[in-house]
Amino acid sequence: MIEQRLARRIGLFDATMVVMGGIVGSGIFVTPATVASFSGTRAGMLAAWIVGGGAALLGAFIYADLARRRPFAGGQYVYLREAYHPALGFLYGWALLLVIQTGGMAACAVTFARYFKPLAGVPLSERAVAALAVAILVAVNCLGVGAGARTQSALMVLKIAAIGAVIACGFGGAAAPGPGLVNPRSSFAAALIPVLFSYGGFQTACFVASELKDARRDLPRALVAGVSLVVLLYVGMAFACDRILGEALQLSAAPALEVATRVLGPQGAGLIAAGVAISSLGFLSQSILTAPRVYFAMAEDGVFLRGVARVHPRTRAPVVAIALQGGFAILLALTGTFEVLVNYVVAIDFIFFALTAACLFVLRRRGEPVEMPGHPVTTLLFIGVCATVSVSSFVQDPLHSLIGLALTLAGFPVYLLWRRTR
């Protein structure tokens, strides 16, 4: 059994940090400007972050319900496999490895290197530093889920401190003169897309469900608490950027950097550079901790390379799956092809979000009780939000969205081949 082969060493605090680490990356230091450019007023911008946070909380409750009834390694892969068909679960894992997770990991690794290299004066290229960071985190996670979780928690605490410093600058610094944001061509729907994308990632905590000490109790709590805390951080960051920068926020390329620099002077630039580096490394750490459990579960099911299910006898970590994920990320970081893959992520990711939420309807029809608050209205609302984001991605960037869909569907013949040769 998977649950017996992997070690249960993750407690509630570490699980909450894993949830938050899957959401908070380096993007929050820049995204407030993007959202502001679509918002007509300060109230509209803050409303977008609050509404997006509400949608993320609906998702957290949905995944909490699924995690409570299926606390197994692989999380979302397991939900899709059991509610619909093993082929759909495989397509999710396939897309996770080739499109969704690995491209984002490589992008974060390079972002980390871009900020860390000048701070530390490392005499290596950015791509070499990125590859080295991935390799070190792979080694840490091969030492066991406990080591990986502790590393992730430490990085997440540092991330919270960096974001908290920007929020403190926003409350303590001099407010910008003028009425604030003014954009006659505002679009609340357009502002919601980057917001919702910024809130994604909490679902990856479900991948390590079988390694929580008490998954049925702690994982649902970690999902709801983690997402709630991120909502507070994001709304605080947006308010800080708007209060200090005012109308200039929507034109800023690095709003958090400008806020810290205006309030703290030159030291602010170093603070934000360190914050972005830590946030990128933290997201990278969380990805290496969580995503390999999906490939491990697929291998256990016999629909992926059997060796990927190998567990180290002492650390009880899925070392081959971890090395596979890290190897793909290193390859993309060194070649630079991640820049193309990142453009394919949004539409596909939200399609799987909607399908996973719909699992509750499937399980309810099979006689299993649903504990999602407000179901079916709240579940349908979350599915509608996901569908809107996915359709908007196809409309705004049809080429990359269609290529991402094609890459995902290309996994179906691979699944048939593996099943046939099992």
At residue 35, the 3 state secondary structure works out as: helix
Q: Facing residues of 10 across strands?
A: 212
Our separate counts of H helices and E strands in the chain read: 20, 0
Burial 216-243 (b: 16+ CB within 10 A, else e): eebbbebbbbbbbbbbebbbbbbbbbbb
pLDDT in tens, the chain (422 residues): 444 578 888 999 999 999 999 999 888 998 999 898 888 778 888 999 999 999 999 999 999 999 999 999 999 999 999 999 999 999 999 999 988 888 889 989 999 998 999 888 888 899 999 999 999 999 999 999 999 999 999 999 999 999 999 999 999 888 887 655 556 566 788 888 889 989 999 999 999 999 999 999 999 999 999 999 999 999 999 999 999 998 888 888 889 999 999 999 988 888 889 999 999 999 999 999 999 999 999 999 989 988 999 999 899 999 999 999 999 999 989 988 777 777 788 889 999 999 999 999 999 999 999 999 999 999 999 999 999 989 988 988 898 889 889 999 999 999 998 888 77
CA–CA separation, 377 vs 370, rounded Å?
12
Return the pLDDT at 283.
93
CA distances 417 to 87, 97, 99, 359, Å, are 11, 18, 21, 26
Residue 50 token pair: 């609050």
**Residue 348 CB: number of other CB atoms within 10 A?**
23
Residue 385 token pair: 């939000």
Nearby residues of 392 by Cβ (< 8 Å), 6 or more positions away = 189, 193
* Residue recorded with tokens 């792979």: 138
CATH number at residue 325: 1.20.1740.10
Domain count, the chain: 1
Task: Write the single-letter amino acid at 419.
Answer: R
Structural domain harbouring 200: 2-420
Return the pLDDT at 250.
86
In this structure, are residues 403 and 99 in contact, taking their beta carbons and an 8 Å threshold? no
CA–CA separation, 230 vs 283, rounded Å?
14
CA–CA separation, 415 vs 95, rounded Å?
12
Report the length, in residues, of the chain: 422
**Residue 325 CB: number of other CB atoms within 10 A?**
29
In this structure, are residues 74 and 246 in contact, taking their beta carbons and an 8 Å threshold? no
In this structure, are residues 213 and 11 in contact, taking their beta carbons and an 8 Å threshold? yes
Return the pLDDT at 164.
94
CA–CA separation, 189 vs 196, rounded Å?
11
Return the pLDDT at 3.
46
CA–CA separation, 47 vs 50, rounded Å?
5
Nearby residues of 313 by Cβ (< 8 Å), 6 or more positions away = none
Residue 353 token pair: 């979000």
